[in-house]
Structure 1
Amino acid sequence: METIILPVRIFLFIGLDYFNDANNRFKNHCKLVLFIIMLFTFFIGQIIFFTNIEEVGAGFLDLANAIPCLFLILQNIFKLTVIRKKHLIKDLILEIAELWPQEFQSKEKENVFYDSLRRLKKFRDAILKLTCFGVMIYMCLPIFIYFIWSCIDGDTPYLYPFQLYYFVKINSLWKYQVFYLMQIVSGTMIHICMYWSCDLLLVTLTSDICILLRLLQYDLQNIIVQCGRESLDDLKRIVKTHQKLLRLADKLNEIFGGIMLNITAVSSVVICFFGFLTIVVEGKFQKFKNLATVLQCLFIVFYIMLPGQILSDTSSGIADAAYQSMWYNSDPKFKKIIFIIIARSQKPCKLRAMSYGNMDFNAFCKICSTAWSYLSLVNQMYQKGGFEV
């Protein structure tokens, strides 16, 4: 099952091995411990920054930049639940692999499968390129701006991607470059290896279930209806596969429900503050950096919501596929099973943020609407409060 290779490899880079390689168990355990230490060190640095605002001389815009970064780190900490649930994830991957087609009875069904697979890979690759571009801009642009300003005006404050507290006084260029490099390395690893890879795993598993549901639709539409045991056996096999896919969708919600709730709750705040910085910051390079970050956040949220919408549409499409079969030419037992399939498919599968809502286009629109409301409120407070830039 080639779709799952990329997220599994990214997780393996930080030592999270879903398939328990005995030969590298100690090595992977050490890598994972080091990554968790780095993540919590980053988080503590941000917390101490907030508790020492007066000491570091942080202004309102510094806080506006630090708040969404803190929420993103909190998201990453919450996503560490994939470590605790790695055995459930492994079982889910293996169950999907059991249903994954190895050969096809018709060229048309093969085309349906590979077309779905091709669209998934194209969309995933596009989001990966956008994510890498956004991370590169966010990480590298501040030091670029610093060197430009230092050439124009010698007395230029040091600029960083993240607002962290350092117990060492940074009073020389080489110290600045060392700490900046530390931020780039740790920030990039955290974002790619935990934040994005966790979303990628969720999207990939959801898309795989959608592909299997689409193949099930094809089987239902093209089932040979005739009075005999063979047609009934084929239909029962389809029903069993349908039941398995419904259980897999439930397992997906069980594993990722808390993570999806966290995404739904936090994304509006992150988009709001980066959007606010895009509006109020005067420097063109900084505007571009914040705008690129806003767009990246929006695309990532959309990237998560799209498979949820497709899962809902594809699972409800099973009813249409069953109705389009030649069921009216079959015997009563065959018709009864078809009616049960149609009735069951009236309630589509959904990605759920626990019991608080579904992950679909409506949720995406709600997140954007909430972010816009927060942005308007923060901007009004900023304009009326007269905070200094």
Structure 2
Amino acid sequence: MSEEGRNVARKEIHETLNLCNFCVRNIGLSFIDIPKTFFQSFTSYLLFIMASSLLVLMLAGEIAYVAGQMINTASVEEFVGSYLHIAGYDTMSFGKLITIWYKRHTFRHLVVELAEIWPVSIRYRDGVEIKRNSLSTLKHRQFLYAFWNILGVWLYNLTPIAVLLYRKLRGMSAALGYVWQMAYPFDKTKPAVHGIVYIFETCAGCISVCCMLGSDLLFMTMASHISMLLRLLQNQIRRLGTVESKDPFDTRCNDCYKDIVEVVKIHQRLIRYIKDLEDAFSVVNLINVLLSSVNICCVMFTIVFLDSWMEMSNKFYLGAALTQIFIVCWYADDIYRASVGVADAVYESGWYKSNTRCRRAMLVVLQRSQRPLYFTALKFRAITMITYSSILTTAYSYFTLLYTSYRRD
């Protein structure tokens, strides 16, 4: 690829990562813009320290509060209703923050490497349509997912103010509440401290969402691009050996061996890239799989039986939690289906019109593509839409157990 082509590829890729980059820049990281001066590096480092400190303090306060509820009460509803799902969400955010910070150089390298295999000029109209539809769909999904999560956290942040105004208008005694339920080593009810605590909880909640969105949007974008490249490869394979000949037994005009070699090289490069991407996201995917069912169960229990004032915010949280794990499973499953589709594309090509040499080469592509490519949860299990179904089933089982214990009490 020429330098001009690389520049075009980088520009198109960076445009798809703008929303992701906006989120991670709020926590002092970037997968596109590398600090070039000492001042920029120092500013990014300081911002990361502040963001990670806020998130750690928030998570520590939530864990301390949940632990206190566990020690001081045996009531199921008080323990689960102590914003256990929020502690789970922030645990996921912290795990993702550590992962994207630790592997930030790997992610930057993957973004740069993607430009080398990016389709800048596509010869066929259907390939152009595949690229246009993929980028357009990705843009809309990114916006909706980010909007849903940001709206959810601000509903939590503004609910104490809304409750205060409601009680004031009704002539009831009221005081400004708190965004989250956390334990502090000081008296947070003092007037001067109360405002500081409220600001801290608001900022920490936004940081948590930025960590979640930064990781998820990066995964969504990179997986979407790889799926698009695999479908473009399928389209290229289907055209192999399709040159028409007056003599149906004349295979000389269908000697497409060079094209097959090019396809094999592209396929091998995509396989290596997907493996590198899978290694980079395997820890994040494990965090998603382990905690999602618990978070969904706890927020469902809270919505059905507990805090009515936070019901709307918790419903938005439930929608965000279901959407978050759905996106991970959907795009992982999309990679799986696109990789298996390469074998179907070989069968649908003009292999029967080609000579023996071409048929043998295409057989190699067919055999390799019959081994599907997966994203995994740290190599423990492959992630597909079956995983999503399993997570929902597990969450419902937990909910049923909590429901039985709650009714028994």
TM-score where L is the length of structure 1? 0.91
Determine which of 240, 244, 259 is the counterpart of 1:234.
259
The answer to whether the Cα contact below 8 Å between 2:335 and 2:374 also exists between their aligned partners in 1 is: yes
Determine which of 253, 276, 283 is the counterpart of 2:301.
276
The aligned residue for residue 103 of structure 1 is 121
The aligned residue for residue 235 of structure 2 is 218
Determine whether 1:168 maps to 2:186.
yes
The aligned residue for residue 45 of structure 1 is 61
* Corresponding letter in the other structure for 1:30: L
Determine which of 297, 322, 342 is the counterpart of 1:318.
342
Partner SS for 1:65 = coil
Seen in structure 2, the aligned counterparts of structure 1 residues 52 and 281 have a Cα distance that, compared at 3 Å, is closer
The residue correspondences of 1:1-389 to structure 2 (distance < 5 A) are 1=13, 2-18=15-31, 20-23=34-37, 24-53=40-69, 60-61=77-78, 63-79=80-96, 80-149=98-167, 151-152=169-170, 154-156=172-174, 159-171=177-189, 175-191=193-209, 193-224=210-241, 227=252, 231-281=256-306, 283=308, 285-385=309-409
* Corresponding letter in the other structure for 1:213: L
1:159 to partner: Cα distance:
3.3
The answer to whether the Cα contact below 8 Å between 1:15 and 1:29 also exists between their aligned partners in 2 is: yes
Q: Any stretches of 5+ residues in structure 1 without a counterpart?
A: none
The answer to whether the Cα contact below 8 Å between 2:89 and 2:295 also exists between their aligned partners in 1 is: yes
The percentage of aligned residue pairs carrying the same residue is 23
* Corresponding letter in the other structure for 1:22: K
Aligned residues: 383
Could you tell me how far apart the structure 1 residues matched to 2:225 and 2:199 are?
Answer: 38
Could you tell me how far apart the structure 2 residues matched to 1:57 and 1:318 are?
Answer: 57
1:157 to partner: Cα distance:
6.8
The answer to whether the Cα contact below 8 Å between 2:73 and 2:79 also exists between their aligned partners in 1 is: no
Partner SS for 2:29 = coil
Seen in structure 2, the aligned counterparts of structure 1 residues 177 and 230 have a Cα distance that, compared at 3 Å, is farther
* Corresponding letter in the other structure for 1:73: D
Could you tell me how far apart the structure 2 residues matched to 1:168 and 1:78 are?
Answer: 27
Seen in structure 2, the aligned counterparts of structure 1 residues 63 and 190 have a Cα distance that, compared at 3 Å, is same
Could you tell me how far apart the structure 1 residues matched to 2:402 and 2:386 are?
Answer: 24
Could you tell me how far apart the structure 1 residues matched to 2:48 and 2:258 are?
Answer: 48
1:365 to partner: Cα distance:
0.6
1:74 to partner: Cα distance:
1.6
Partner SS for 2:116 = helix
* Corresponding letter in the other structure for 2:223: T
Seen in structure 2, the aligned counterparts of structure 1 residues 275 and 142 have a Cα distance that, compared at 3 Å, is farther
Partner SS for 2:256 = helix
The answer to whether the Cα contact below 8 Å between 2:80 and 2:298 also exists between their aligned partners in 1 is: no
Partner SS for 2:264 = helix
The answer to whether the Cα contact below 8 Å between 1:221 and 1:325 also exists between their aligned partners in 2 is: yes
The answer to whether the Cα contact below 8 Å between 2:81 and 2:306 also exists between their aligned partners in 1 is: no
The answer to whether the Cα contact below 8 Å between 2:255 and 2:354 also exists between their aligned partners in 1 is: no
* Corresponding letter in the other structure for 1:259: V
RMSD: 2.4
The answer to whether the Cα contact below 8 Å between 2:69 and 2:82 also exists between their aligned partners in 1 is: no
TM-score where L is the length of structure 2? 0.87
Q: Deviations over 1:258-283 (max 9, x none)?
A: 11011101001100010001110263
Seen in structure 2, the aligned counterparts of structure 1 residues 178 and 63 have a Cα distance that, compared at 3 Å, is farther
Q: Deviations over 1:275-310 (max 9, x none)?
A: 001110263x42222222111110111111111111
1:96 to partner: Cα distance:
1.3
Q: Deviations over 1:35-91 (max 9, x none)?
A: 111111112222332344499999743652332122222212211111111121112
